[in-house]
Chains A and B, each alone.
Chain A
Amino acid sequence: MRICFLVHELGRSGGAQTIAGYARALAAREGWEADVIVTDPHAAHVAPDLDGVPVRRADEGGLGPYDVAISTWWTTAAWLWEVPATRRIAFLQSIESRFYENVHFYERFAAEQVLALPVDYVTVAGWIGRVMAELRPDARCEVVRNGIDKRVFSPRPRERPGRPLRVLVEGQPSLWFKGVHDAVAAVRAMEEPAELTVLATDPGESGGLEGVTIEGGLHPAAVADVYADHDVVLKLSRVEGLPLCPLEAFHLGLPAIVTPFTGHDEYLVHGHNGLVVGFDDGPGAVRALDRVARDRGLLARLSEGALQTAATWPSAGQAAEAFATAVERLAAGPEPDRVAALAHWQRASRRWTELTRFEVNRLQGMVRWYEGALVERDDALRERGAEVEEYRRRLEELVSSRAYRASVAARRLIPRRPR
């Protein structure tokens, strides 16, 4: 089996690490070959290989042919038909359009197009599989949950009697959907003493956070050390696929306090291995933190639950095997239903067209409003200018009048008060 992973760039995000892990594991399988193809033509410093997996550029010649080409992000999906491949798979680590706020509607629509392609799908979470089953009942979608490297993330002794609760907030503070600012605010509002660390992909991008220790850019073993030095993970994200941080932390016995972001219910059970607090529920998040800070018995029970969940979660090797099996199964199955995909695309494009028209009309309305406001301001300025001219003319008349000159002369005759 010869496959290629199409990646936008070789980044440090959790998603990029997952792709790199699968590429390495599949390349090492008997009878398999794997390439990583970087699609971003402006990507700098593309290494020639990724731990032995060849890394190619999409615009270089001589690629393939591949049995299966796998896109890994919406910007890479267009390249599925640019590399020679017999079959095509879109690897969904989230519903990627959800990462974009309303103002980025062009990117959002483009990201959504991945869901309308005549391809097979592999995804990392049950909720994405369910969404795909509703949106694209014609499409085959295999769910392969990400595994955890159990050699790196494994239980360690955790005895810290009497110490303040050590809270690890995970997420990139500069990303709107990670809720890091809300999490930091919750820790700061606690009644019980607590220590706070933020764990980010890129600690240089603090997103305006001040007075907080931000750890980041760490290799997995160092991340495990950070987990080992904390008591609980706090993750108040709004959008996720299947975030691995709480799962990795589970393996070291850290429970998690989370919002009910998509993917949380794949592993987090309220009251068993963590606590769930509502979105935007600042008081609820603070109360949950204070509960585990006050009640160390509760913290210990949740920690035990976290270890139980970790014990049943697949390892990185098991996940890679499941990924390989999914790719083989999809490649051996029938071709995707192009007509059904086209029907979905047609419906979606109508919506994109109408909603884009709405946004353009709304923006044009705003422009017209500001233009009108500018004209009104200019008119008002002209009126004020005319009034100033009129007052100046009247003042000159007054100053040049005989009565004014006489009153000025009379004033000069009044003796000055001695100092």
Chain B
Amino acid sequence: MSVTLAVVAEPDLCAIAGVEGEFDWGTATTVAPPEAEAALAELRPEVVLALGDASVPGDRVPDLRWLPRPATASDGERVAAPGGEGLHSRAALPVRDELFELPAPDGGNLLVVSGNADRRRALVDELVQARVAGAGAESLTLEGLAAARAVAFLPEPGERSMPASAPAVLAARRVLIAPPAELTFGLEAGTDHLVASEDQHVLEYAAISSGLGRSLETLTVLGRMTAERHRASVVYGRLVRELAG
């Protein structure tokens, strides 16, 4: 069985959760929405997936939309998301294969990820005061991940699930600091990542991790192993086999 898969995604999400190449199940190409019409016409893929809110041109309905946030499926669209109702799959985002080879940065910072700009700015300010290199981002990007030695997702009100891009951090062997979650998608608190239930805990972990160096290696080695369960070429492979029938 060989399937042609097209993934339509904005570049930021594509760099984290896209897939590209030839695999034992078929061929995958990730395209940005502006190029999607021409690419789909040329590729004639059996399966089309949309990542995030990327729109698929023409009257082609994506076979599945994979969202990085909890969602409720509607109008018969198949949806994968880390939480919500009527889902085809409840899941974190797949991890783009190339992230498993992302080199370690020289030094590197603690990347604080939160949709709340005030909170992440305040935390980064406190990191700077504590002489820990910090940066903030609304969501995880390849650039942010590449420059980070650790990534902290701040707890968001009402959130039950592990942040959808958390496995990408583990794949890149960065230290992951994540909020406590009921749905962890295979991540194990304390074994492959650190758990911070409040912003102050992030600061404490930042201080610890900046001074420990290789001592956190067990965490990152086991974290990478956990991330393998989310490797894009494997996860998409299972999905296209099912969708292509």
* CB-CB nearest in chain B for A347: B215
Q: Are B204 and A361 in contact (CB under 8 A)?
A: yes
Nearest chain B CB to A213 CB, angstrom units = 28
A57 at the interface (CB under 8 A from B): no
User: Which residues on the B side are within 8 Å of A355 (C-beta)?
Assistant: 190, 194, 208
B212 touches A350 (CB 8 A): yes
Judging by beta carbons under 8 Å apart, are A358 and B241 in contact?
A: no
CB-CB nearest in chain A for B221: A134
Interface residues in A341-384 by Cβ distance below 8 A to B read: 347-348, 350-351, 354-355, 358, 361-362
> Which B41-90 residues have C-beta < 8 A from chain A?
87-90
Question: Would B90 and A348 count as touching, CB distance under 8 A?
Answer: no
Contact yes or no, A108 B190, CB < 8 A: yes
Q: A131–B225 contact, CB under 8 A?
A: yes
Q: Which of A95, A115, A135, A280: most chain B Cβ within 10 A?
A: A280
Question: Which residue of the partner chain, among A278, A284, A348, contacts B215 with CB atoms under 8 Å?
Answer: A348
- What separation, in Å, do the CA atoms of A374 and B212 have in the docked complex? 37
A260 lies within 8 A of B221 (CB): no
Q: State the Cβ distance, A102 to closest chain B Cβ, in Å.
A: 4
Indicate if B185 sits at the interface (CB-CB under 8 A): yes
Residue of A nearest to B241 (CB): A271
- The answer on a CB contact under 8 Å between A280 and B225 is no
User: Is the C-beta of B189 less than 8 angstroms from some C-beta in chain A?
Assistant: yes
Give bound CA distance, A135 to B173, whole Å.
13
Q: Interface readout for A238-278 with B: 1 if CB under 8 Å, 0 if not?
A: 11000000000000000000011010000000110000101
A385 at the B interface (CB under 8 A): no
| Residues of A contacting B205 in the complex (Cβ-Cβ under 8 angstroms) | 358
**B237 partner residues in chain A, CB cutoff 8 A:** 270
Q: Is A280 a contact of B90 with CB atoms below 8 Å?
A: yes
- Residue B229 interfacial (CB < 8 Å): yes
B87 touches A283 (CB 8 A): yes
A361 to B203, CA, bound (A): 13
**Does B183 sit at the interface, judged by CB under 8 A?**
yes
Q: A282 at interface (Cβ–Cβ under 8 A)? A: yes
Q: Which of B230-245 contact A (CB under 8 A)?
A: 235, 237-238, 241-242
Residue of A nearest to B162 (CB): A280
Which chain B residues in 194-232 approach chain A with CB under 8 Å? 194-195, 201, 204-205, 208, 211-219, 221-222, 225, 229
- Provide the B170-197 mask, 1 if CB < 8 A to any CB of A, else 0: 0000000000000111101111001100
- Seen from chain A, the residues whose Cβ lies within 8 Å of a Cβ on chain B are 95, 97-98, 101-102, 105, 108, 112, 115, 127, 130-131, 134-135, 238-239, 259-260, 262, 270-271, 276, 278-284, 287, 291, 347-348, 350-351, 354-355, 358, 361-362
Q: List 21 A-B contacts (CB under 8 A).
A: A97-B191, A98-B191, A101-B190, A102-B190, A130-B225, A134-B217, A135-B218, A135-B221, A259-B186, A270-B237, A278-B185, A279-B184, A279-B229, A280-B90, A280-B184, A280-B186, A281-B91, A283-B89, A351-B212, A351-B218, A362-B201
